[in-house]
A and B are shown apart, each in its own frame.
Chain A
């Protein structure tokens, strides 16, 4: 850890966060709104990377965890009018429970089977939301009466602060002995098990941590938007974006995932004038990165630094 505080990565991150924190002083509310969403998205991607990059489990359903957190918080606020903060905490808790329930059957299987189990979880959640439309708002979406604040600057700072704290915790966890055991069990479960580590327990823990941050971020996002809908927090396409963000930024780096998420959202906005081709261009760029720089943005940068 002490070594980390002297590393270049830490200094760069610190400078970036400080510069980002001063943005509300001189950029428009529009840019702030865009970045606010990007930061929450960054947390989704980092939480996913903990599971994939370290535990080696391909979770095709990040939006199951996100959606449970987001909808629990939204429904509690909509139905009972409980305070925003209580709803957010309960949303994150619900997501942890959902992560636990999903992990128990899912961790029995590996590789593509695990991926499919998590994908099915998303499709079930999606069906559930449509079927119980009275409670969830169905395909139209759920209106949420309360918001955290309407000030663009304050919302931006909350999102930035949340992403920074999440990044510190998730990155710290990934570099800790627990993270190393996770990495070992992801790469060679048999050998890691033979060394005496309880792989299932570690993976379950990774799942729960990932679920906690996904759910918390989902709940916060819902109170920022003032609405929860399948298209924004549950759809498989959203999950695909989370995965692309993490792979694009550099898997197994945690911080790269946030970078990838911010790039995806900002690039999508810059490409808006190209209309329907925006998604095509973003996917094509992502595919080229996957083919030619499999380490992602941060992976490429770090390996260059390591070489020099």
Chain B
């Protein structure tokens, strides 16, 4: 009974973590950017979906679409207003661009977070779920929404896999993550590949944010922890490795669920942090990372 409960809840959480971390790792893999405004964009998507449904009285599907669209716009804004100017700046030496992107996106994330708090308060918001009700799986009462969340996450990740491996655009993205210079030699414009990647990222972060808003609820306080968890999942799996971060998401998701159910919800994040420290010490490049 408890085992099934952990299995089911852990799966939903892990799938959500995986979806949230995939976009993050994709951007790092392709353009070497660690986007620390990640959590803010996810929360923004959820809050937009919530506002569309509650104040504009849209139906839940339209609300979710609004959330994803807002995240897409926010992702483009992050790229064009913060990341690209830093990458193109002549006044910042190349070896320091990484830290400037980190600082810039961090500040950008705080700005988004503060704007959300200003317009929509700090209160936690739960987006109305698209599917309601509960079903009984092996004696575990599971909200249909939880199953829906897990299914959508798996579906979107599957679609992403198809896109990256089977379409021309996707293959260009994959190539850019392997060898950016080689891609330019083949006559592809790197900037346009980056724009595609940020678009994919925006959609992924938007879907993850809206699902999170339906499943657990969000507030502007969740921004920091969300960024931190995506960051640690991605490092655990190996920076830039999508399959690595999928595995890491499930490891972290199940570790947290196990601790929450078997020990105490207060210690929820500790084992995952310890694991992270151990992995960094033994295998700094992460589970599937290449150096």
Could you list which residues of chain A lie within 8 angstroms of chain B, going by C-beta atoms? 52, 56, 58, 105, 108-109, 111-113, 115-117, 119-120, 123-124, 127, 130-131, 187, 236-237, 240, 243-244, 247, 276-277, 279-280, 283-284, 286-287, 290-291, 294-295
B34 within 8 Å of A by Cβ?
yes
Is there an interface contact between B91 and A283, defined as CB atoms closer than 8 Å? no
**CB <8 Å contact, B273 and A124:** yes
Assess A120 versus B273: contact at CB under 8 Å? Given A115-B102, A187-B95, A287-B82: yes
Q: In the assembly, what is the distance between CA of A133 and CA of B91, in Å?
A: 48
Interface residue count on the B side (C-beta < 8 Å): 42
Main secondary structure of the interface of B (DSSP, over half): helix
Chain B residues with CB below 8 A from A290, complex form: 86, 100, 103-104, 107
Top 9 nearest A-B pairs by Cβ distance?
A: A280-B114, A109-B284, A287-B107, A283-B110, A294-B92, A283-B107, A105-B281, A283-B111, A279-B114
B280 touches A286 (CB 8 A): no
B106 within 8 A of A: yes
Question: Could you give, for residues 115-128 of chain B, a 1 whenever the CB lies within 8 Å of some chain A CB and a 0 otherwise?
Answer: 10110000000000
**Chain A residues within 8 Å of B85, by CB:** 291
Known contacts A58-B99, A290-B103: does B280 contact A117 (CB below 8 Å)? Answer: yes
What is B's interface to A at a CB cutoff of 8 Å?
34, 82, 85-86, 89, 91-92, 95-96, 98-100, 102-104, 106-108, 110-111, 114-115, 117-118, 224, 228, 231-232, 235, 239, 266-267, 269-270, 273-274, 276-277, 280-281, 284-285
User: Which of B95, B100, B114, B239 counts the most A-chain CB atoms under 10 A from its CB?
Assistant: B114
* Chain A residues near B99 (CB-CB < 8 A): 52, 58
Q: Using A117-B277, A287-B82, A294-B89 as known contacts, say yes or no to A58 and B102 having CB atoms under 8 A apart.
A: yes
28 A–B contacts, CB within 8 A, in A order: A112-B102, A113-B235, A115-B102, A116-B231, A117-B277, A120-B232, A123-B273, A124-B270, A127-B273, A131-B270, A236-B228, A276-B117, A276-B118, A277-B118, A280-B110, A280-B114, A280-B115, A283-B107, A283-B108, A283-B110, A284-B111, A287-B107, A290-B100, A290-B104, A290-B107, A291-B89, A294-B91, A294-B92
Q: Which residues of A contact B118 (CB under 8 A)?
A: 276-277, 280
Given A116-B232, A119-B228; A280-B111 close (CB under 8 Å): yes
